[in-house]
Amino acid sequence: MGNPFIHPILKEAAAVFGAGGKKVYLVGGAVRDLLRGHRAQDWDLATDALPEEVMAMFRRVIPTGIKHGTVTVRYKGHSLEVTTFRTESSYTDGRHPDQVRYAAAIEEDLSRRDFTMNALAFALPQGPLLDPFGGGEDIKNRVIRCVGQGEARFREDGLRPLRAVRFAAQLGFEVESRTLAAIPGALEITARVAPERIRDELDKIIAAGTPSTAFLLMEKTGLLELLLPELGHCRGIEQKGFHRFDVLDHSLLACDYSARKKAAFQVRLASLFHDIGKPLTRKMDKSGIWTFYHHERESARLTRNILTRFRYPNAVIDGVVHLIGQHMFFYEEIWSDAAVRRFIIRVGEDKIRDLLELRKADAYATTGTEPGGDFLVPFIDRIEEVLAQGRAFTLKDLAVSGKDLQAAGVKPGPSMGIILGELLEAVIEDPALNNQEKLLEIAKNINNRRY
């Protein structure tokens, strides 16, 4: 390694450790990135100072994971994750290390780390680089390899297999064959890992450049059947018509497309899961063609189960499920303005963009080619045109209120609600009716006719 760029803040912080007679190393992803010639996103440091000693050395220190020997130093607007040298500890409950034991030296700390590319340390402020497991060579060759025996390392912490496939998708590296082969033997351990830890990895997979890399490796190793069987069951579900791929490959292509387009996180999740209801709704019609009636409802239901299982926040669950439930629309020019307004109301104006992005990913993944020109443009233009006519979409957008109707002779009670609903229907059909005079007239007519 030539002369790596070490951020001045790290050098300054290192001087504070040095003044206290302590050693400090840059470790983890930051060193990996340094060797790949990328700027690090965040900094993990390892030190022989105990957490209390680190807290005494710096003014602003947050005890973020003090039970595991980690504190966060806030230094001149930057965050440094500082962890005291540790030895390996097992994760009996799949959640927390059983107990934390501090190690005397950095070498021992590096040996507990998961992959060779993550087991490098750069002594701050100016080196040397410690690379006891050949991580530098593996980074150069773009290989993910366990430190030590994969079988044992994966059984110590069942999250590691998922980290391996996540890094493969993030970095575009290969998982070395023995490391990959060790995954199936640890599935029962992975099964016990806390859902929140799995979710954090899924999030990183979804955010990666090519999420399918991880999901295909998961399929190959049994992780998909274990963690996302609903997606696994899409393998081999053939579709007819324009579709070129089975439902699993179609879903993965859609997800990759969303990632490539830097679509919002919820769109990426929706792309991945939008068709998972297909295996359960597939039927052959009389002419021998596969149909998937109402698969979007089944996909929405299964997606709610999956996201709930991994403890996603309710707002995320509702957002993704809504997109999936609405993804089967077929705009044609003959749609009336009222039909366009009903679509806007059903989807929600603020969700339309995401839904159209999902639809684009879906179209792309049907054939594997970029959808012709901008096939949604006529629909987008139409939506804008209709929105320009006004936004009377809910009762509170009406030009009359219950009070106005009461003053005009409508009795309060259930009939009031029914009449207001009918007025809204009328305004959705024809926004020009949304003024007080016209609406009161319609209301009186309904009232006289029925009540």
Cβ of residue 202: shortest distance to ligand ATP, in angstroms?
13
- Binding flag, residue 83, Mg ion (CB under 5 A): no
- Which range touches Mg ion (CB under 5 A), out of 28-36, 67-75, 119-127, 398-406? 28-36
Gap between the Cα atoms of 431 and 392, Å rounded:
7
114 binds, among Mg ion, ligand ATP, none (CB under 5 to 8 A by kind): ligand ATP
Cβ of residue 296: shortest distance to Mg ion, in angstroms?
38
Cβ of residue 380: shortest distance to ligand ATP, in angstroms?
36
Cβ of residue 143: shortest distance to Mg ion, in angstroms?
19
Q: Which is nearer to Mg ion, 164 or 439 (CB)?
A: 164
- Binding flag, residue 114, ligand ATP (CB under 6 A): yes
Three-class SS of 206-245? HHCCCHHHHHHHHHHHCHHHHHCHHHHCCCCCCCCCCCCC
Cβ of residue 308: shortest distance to ligand ATP, in angstroms?
25
155 binds, among ligand ATP, Mg ion, none (CB under 5 to 8 A by kind): none
Site for ligand ATP in 36-65 (CB under 6 A): 44
- Binding flag, residue 113, ligand ATP (CB under 6 A): yes
Cβ of residue 16: shortest distance to ligand ATP, in angstroms?
22
Task: Specify the DSSP element, H or E, that contains 440.
Answer: helix 436-450
Q: Which of 48, 157, 256, 357 binds ligand ATP (CB under 6 A)?
A: 157
Note every long-range contact of 400-406, with CB atoms under 8 Å and residues 24 or more positions apart, other chains counting: 400/436, 400/439, 400/440, 400/443, 404/436, 404/440, 405/440, 405/443
Q: Which is nearer to Mg ion, 31 or 358 (CB)?
A: 31
- Helices 352-367 and 377-388: crossing angle in degrees, nearest 10, is 170
Alpha helices (H) in 114-159, listed in sequence order: 135-140, 150-156
Give the C-alpha distances (Å, rounded to integers) separating 156 from 51, 146, 401. Answer: 25, 12, 65
Cβ of residue 30: shortest distance to Mg ion, in angstroms?
7
Phi, psi of 312 (to 5 degrees): -70, 150
Evaluate whether 254 touches 234 at the Cβ level (below 8 Å): no
Going by C-alpha positions, the residue among 205, 219, 217, 211 that lies closest to residue 174 is: 217
Cβ of residue 44: shortest distance to Mg ion, in angstroms?
5
Gap between the Cα atoms of 124 and 133, Å rounded:
20
At 434, list the tokens.
């949304």
118 binds, among Mg ion, ligand ATP, none (CB under 5 to 8 A by kind): ligand ATP
Residue nearest to Mg ion (CB): 29
Cβ of residue 118: shortest distance to ligand ATP, in angstroms?
3
Q: Which of 86, 155, 160, 233 binds ligand ATP (CB under 6 A)?
A: 160
- Binding flag, residue 118, ligand ATP (CB under 6 A): yes
At 294, list the tokens.
């109402």
- Number of residues this chain uses to bind ligand ATP (CB under 6 A): 9
Sequence-ordered strand ranges (E) for 278-346? 283-284, 290-291
Cβ of residue 32: shortest distance to Mg ion, in angstroms?
9
Site for ligand ATP in 2-31 (CB under 6 A): 28-29
Strands 129-130 and 143-144: unpaired
- CA angle at residue 249 from 141 to 158, to 5 degrees? 55
Q: Which is nearer to ligand ATP, 35 or 410 (CB)?
A: 35
Site map (CB under 6 A) of ligand ATP, residues 313-332, x = contact: --------------------
- Which range touches Mg ion (CB under 5 A), out of 26-34, 91-99, 196-204, 307-315? 26-34
Q: How many angstroms from the chain centroid is the CA of residue 255?
A: 10
- Binding flag, residue 29, Mg ion (CB under 5 A): yes
Site for ligand ATP in 190-209 (CB under 6 A): none
- Binding flag, residue 159, ligand ATP (CB under 6 A): yes
Torsion of CA 294, 295, 300, 302, to 10 degrees: 130
The dihedral built from the CA positions of residue 164, 166, 169 and 171, taken in this order, carries a sign that is negative
Q: Which is nearer to Mg ion, 202 or 410 (CB)?
A: 202
Gap between the Cα atoms of 244 and 365, Å rounded:
8
What contacts 112, CB < 8 A, 6 or more positions away?
86, 87, 88, 89, 103, 147
Binding site for Mg ion (CB under 5 A): 28-29
Binding site for ligand ATP (CB under 6 A): 28-29, 44, 113-114, 118, 157, 159-160
